[in-house]
Amino acid sequence: MPESAADWKAALREKGYRLTPQRELILGAVDELGHATPDEVLAHVRQQVSTVNASTVYRTLEVLEELGLIRHAHLSDRAPTYHSARGHEHFHLVCRGCREVISVDAATAAPFVEVLGARHGFTPDIGHLTVFGRCRNCSPPEEP
Amino acid sequence: MPESAADWKAALREKGYRLTPQRELILGAVDELGHATPDEVLAHVRQQVSTVNASTVYRTLEVLEELGLIRHAHLSDRAPTYHSARGHEHFHLVCRGCREVISVDAATAAPFVEVLGARHGFTPDIGHLTVFGRCRNCSPPEEP
DNA sequence: GTTAATGCAAATTGTTTGCACTTTC
DNA sequence: GAAAGTGCAAACAATTTGCATTAAC
């Protein structure tokens, strides 16, 4: 579960991880960017420190996700995007027409979760869910 | 919409496409394999004709999807998988523990679709949906 | 001083593209 | 025989890995 903004550093150490400037920068970048791909995170971090490497970004995102500080979702068929896990759990609606991303509170999916549990014994990870479709403005198909 | 098994060849021509042995083989492979990545499709087709190329597979899957004969979903963080679009529209549950894939009829998501429409004016593409989580047997987490 | 973390370069994986050659219609 | 489709090789993008060096504890 999301650690409070104050003690994530303690959480790091408890797991034997170390606190490095790169890790702070990358976590900060994810917070600031909202939904960002590893590449976007890298670009953002490099505005502050030029010597950060792509592999560090990948490795760090993995660690931060393991700690529950960030989460990822697949908002395109390309790279995943990462976002902060503090705040309410939510899932995403992505419009195929205009690419808009709508964040929806996990509670909205509660009945759906119920059904999947009851009928299939399945416990969904709603925070990872991405639903593709069309938003109000793009209702008539205009992209395959 | 899914064309009947009989006249997909006509559908091809109506759009100005041509009927080639590769296209027949690839469609057949998707049907036989259930859920298959482009790589798996290629391997399967090559058991019959050794001279099929990966780029042909990618290009053909695209065409077949445009015609509504097949669909794709993202059942892993890796390559997409393709499946036949004939038969009932369904979405997928993927267990993070054992990787099992459960196909669920789209009707199960109808109330969820309603809510997203009512609250967000969003029309989801349920056939593209993949829900990650844990199946009955894997309920206690055992893989990150 | 140990050990984890980083940077770098090279390897991998999945996919796309340009183009000459081959089919289908 | 015109146009679409294919194979091939090369380009690309995203990600991963091995390893020597650096930095956290």
Considering the domain architecture, whether residues A33 and A68 belong to the same structural domain is answered as yes
Nearest-angstrom CA–CA distance, A143 and A136? 15
Note the pLDDT tens digit of each residue in A78-112: 899 999 998 899 999 999 999 999 999 999 999 99
Note the pLDDT tens digit of each residue in B70-124: 999 999 988 999 999 988 999 999 999 999 999 999 999 999 999 999 999 999 9
Number of folded domains in chain A? Answer: 2
Interface with chain B: mutation pick from A100, A123, A143, highest number of B CBs within 10 Å:
A123
Q: What pLDDT, on a 0 to 100 scale, did the predictor assign at position A6?
A: 60
Considering the domain architecture, whether residues A26 and A70 belong to the same structural domain is answered as yes
Considering the domain architecture, whether residues A23 and A66 belong to the same structural domain is answered as yes
Considering the domain architecture, whether residues B17 and B51 belong to the same structural domain is answered as yes
- Chain A: residue whose CA lies nearest to B74: A77
Nearest-angstrom CA–CA distance, A110 and A117? 11
Q: What pLDDT, on a 0 to 100 scale, did the predictor assign at position B6?
A: 61
Q: A58 CA, D15 C1': separation in Å?
A: 8
Considering the domain architecture, whether residues B10 and B64 belong to the same structural domain is answered as yes
Confidence check: pLDDT of B143 > 50: no
Band of residue B67 on the pLDDT scale cut at 50, 70, 90: very high
Nearest-angstrom CA–CA distance, A136 and A128? 23
Nearest-angstrom CA–CA distance, B66 and A83? 32
Task: Give the A:B interface size as CB pairs under 8 Å.
Answer: 91
- Chain A: residue whose CA lies nearest to B66: A144
Strand duo A90-95 + A130-134: pairing: parallel
Nearest-angstrom CA–CA distance, B110 and B70? 22
Classified as helix, coil or strand, A93 is strand
Interface of B with A (CB under 8 A): 66, 74, 77, 80, 93, 95-96, 102, 104, 108-109, 111-112, 115-116, 119-125, 128-129, 131-136, 139, 144
Residue A102 belongs to a domain with what CATH number? 3.30.1490.190
Nearest-angstrom CA–CA distance, A130 and A73? 7
Residue A144 lies in a domain: no
Q: What pLDDT, on a 0 to 100 scale, did the predictor assign at position A143?
A: 43
Amino acid letter, residue B65: E
Band of residue B20 on the pLDDT scale cut at 50, 70, 90: very high
Q: What pLDDT, on a 0 to 100 scale, did the predictor assign at position A140?
A: 63
Residue with tokens 């390559």: B79
Q: B48 CA, C9 C1': separation in Å?
A: 40
Q: A122 CA, D9 C1': separation in Å?
A: 46
Rg (CA), chain B: 17
Bridge partners for B90 per DSSP: B105
Considering the domain architecture, whether residues B74 and B94 belong to the same structural domain is answered as no
Q: What pLDDT, on a 0 to 100 scale, did the predictor assign at position B144?
A: 40
Residue A64 belongs to a domain with what CATH number? 1.10.10.10
Residue ranges making up the domain that contains B118: 90-133
Nearest-angstrom CA–CA distance, B80 and B48? 23
Question: Which of A122, A132, A139 lies closest to B128 in CB terms?
Answer: A132
Considering the domain architecture, whether residues B10 and B78 belong to the same structural domain is answered as yes
pLDDT average, residue stretch B32-47? 96
